[in-house]
Chains A and B, each alone.
Chain A
Amino acid sequence: MSPLDHILSGDRPRSRILALLLIAAFVALAFAPFLFPGTKALGVASRICIFIVLAASYDIVLGYTGIVSFAHAMFFGIGAYGVAIALNWDTSWGAIALGLLVAIIVSTLLAAAIGLLSLRLRALFFSMVTLAFASFALILASQLRDITGGEDGLTFSVPHLLTPAFRLLSQPFLGVRIDGRVVTYYLVFTTATLLFLLMLRIVNSPFGRVLQAIRENEFRAEALGYSILLHRTLAGVIGAVMATLAGGMLALVLRYNGPAASMSFEIMVDGILLMTVIGGMGTLYGPMLGAVLIVLAQYELQPGLAALSALVQNVPVLPRLINPDRWLLWLGVLFVVIVYFFPNGLVGRLRKRG
């Protein structure tokens, strides 16, 4: 096994175009502070890293076991609130660790409870129950004002190393000031890379093969001696813990958390679900590609339309059609087109070509 195979757990992209896209995304993210200087660009790059982990963790649940859960944003929110509440109480690394630990325990217990329900409930009914869990968590986050800050959320300080005031180097490096924001970005980038590789290792382990077997045919997997309930619950717990860690990273980047920032249905549907489906379920590389594409679309479509609109301002009708205010409409059209032409996701199509 080559070193690359070892790192990727033997799960190569299996398509030249896909490999090039993944390498381009990885290199762009690895050098983002230097390639795309500026606070906004760094924010977008951080968000891409976080959503890669979040969407990949959802793929373990949806793509590898076939469970449609709407509670994944809840685990993301639990992680974000864990760090936010802890840092609101004490600005220290110990508080971050404690907040994450408590959040992971809460997510594990909830994911195990939801997993046990999958024994009794099937498909649509199970999805409805996860929706109820997510709604309940969202209401709780809004109502427990003393702890969560209610609808306003919590704004908090982070350890000095992660603040803009911190200087790692006295002189700019490659023209970029290496401050706490850059340190925060590389903390998020490194954590996201390690978590993604860990998930790749999990889905390519014997445990991951059982998940794939269950996804293909539950009865056959059971007849080989594998418990569907145990494996599905474990997959759900692993996905939930990864989403919790992603939520913790979001809180550190934003230095704020509220219901809309980490737990909303927009994050669940417009974010996690779309990223996984558009990228390609059951591949892990798919959600990675989906996260890059959708976060970029969310942030860059509006300015892109503005530039395009200015270019065609003398053409009748067209400027009004591509008015930057209509960016959400075009984002929707883009999603419909991708889902229509790539029913197996981008990765599915690229692998088929490869």
Chain B
Amino acid sequence: MTEALLTLEAIATDIGAYHILHGVDLVVPRGEVTMLLGRNGAGKTTSLRSIMGLWPPHHGTIRFDGQAIERLATPEIARLGIAYVPENMGIFTQLTVQENLKLAAHSARFDEARLDDVFRFFPILKTKWTDRAGLMSGGQKQMLAVARAIVEERRLLIVDEPTKGLAPAVIDQLIECFLELKARATTILLVEQNFHMACSVGDSVAVMDNGRIIHSGSMATLAADADLQTHLLGLSLASHQ
């Protein structure tokens, strides 16, 4: 079995008076794409935010490459080499495309090879290089958000619903990007409602419901089992396409 890069053990997180996560156990193998699926309100985004320390858990352990990180501050977690692309894209609208990427690169100079990759995945970003990010379309903003996560070498990418509300052509571009990252053995934890994308890029899958992981296994097994999909998610893969 592939070695785990990230593990969550019995993670419980509250937001104000609400108990959102009730003991989440999750393993993200090194060099693989792990899909985190589930209905709306199942606790997927909270799990990602707990990993990043934005909503710290009150119970449980989160290990990244063997190191406990559940008590670290968000900037310290990010500096371990974890890139987070939030659900609402998380770009800085007042800054230019270039400035957004520079913030993520933590350096005055870009790694030219990685910048070439970014432009190859998303050519529009080169065209919009000096434009304010707030002036771009939703799809372009999402490309910028993903580009920000890959403009520097990271050990783990955490991406929250990158295809939400995007046009099919943009989704295809994102799928191509994730497939190439996967081919380079990049470790990715991806929350996604789009089953087409989940099946295209996922190696393993964890399904959440009511703040817990209710199923984990290979993505291929879930993709092939319509009954299991209906049981876990309420709808089969075929009905999503």
Contact = CB atoms under 8 A, between A and B. Distances in A.
Interface string B226-237: 000000000000
A227 B73 contact: yes
B74 interface: yes
A212 B78 contact: no
B92 A217 contact: yes
B106 A225 contact: yes
B103 A222 contact: no
B38 interface: no
Nearest to A230: B75
Contacts of B92: 212-213, 216-217, 220
A160 interface: no
A223 B52 contact: yes
A347 to B, nearest CB: 14
A141 interface: no
Interface residues of A, number: 17
Interface stretch (B26-34, B93-101, B115-123): B93-101
A212 B108 contact: no
A209 B54 contact: no
Contacts of B108: 206
A223 B54 contact: yes
Nearest to B106: A225
A213 B94 CA distance: 8
B167 to A, nearest CB: 24
Interface in B102-141: 102-104, 106, 108
Contacts of A223: 52, 54, 74, 78, 84, 86, 90
A277 B65 CA distance: 48
Majority-rule SS of A interface residues: helix
Given A206-B108, A209-B103, A227 B75 contact: yes
A225 B148 CA distance: 12
Interface string B51-86: 010100000000000000000011100110000101
A106 to B, nearest CB: 30
Interface residues of B, number: 22
A331 B170 CA distance: 54
A203 to B, nearest CB: 12
A209 B91 CA distance: 13
Contacts of B90: 217, 220, 223
Nearest to A282: B94
A32 B93 CA distance: 40
Interface in A192-247: 206, 209-210, 212-213, 216-217, 219-228
Contacts of A221: 103
Given A206-B102, A223-B52, A212 B86 contact: no
Nearest to B89: A220
A141 B192 CA distance: 61
Contacts of B106: 224-225
B61 to A, nearest CB: 21
Given A222-B75, A224-B78, A227-B75, A216 B93 contact: yes
B103 A224 contact: yes
B102 A212 contact: no
A216 B104 CA distance: 15
Contacts of A227: 73, 75
Given A209-B95, A213-B92, A213-B95, A220 B78 contact: no
B148 to A, nearest CB: 8
Contacts of B99: 209
A248 B15 CA distance: 49
A338 B75 CA distance: 40
A151 B188 CA distance: 66
A210 B52 CA distance: 19
A209 B102 contact: yes
Contacts of B95: 209, 212-213, 216
A219 B85 CA distance: 12
Contact of A225 (B75, B91, B93): B75
Contacts of B73: 222, 227
Contacts of B52: 223
B160 to A, nearest CB: 11
Interface of B: 52, 54, 73-75, 78-79, 84, 86, 90-95, 99, 102-104, 106, 108, 148
Interface of A: 206, 209-210, 212-213, 216-217, 219-228
Given A220-B86, A222-B75, A223-B74, 9 more contacts: A209-B95, A213-B103, A216-B92, A220-B90, A222-B54, A222-B78, A225-B75, A226-B103, A227-B75
**Ranked 9 nearest A-B pairs via Cβ:** A225-B78, A222-B74, A220-B90, A225-B79, A223-B84, A227-B75, A213-B92, A225-B75, A216-B92
8 contacts: A209-B103, A212-B92, A213-B95, A216-B95, A219-B74, A220-B86, A221-B103, A223-B74
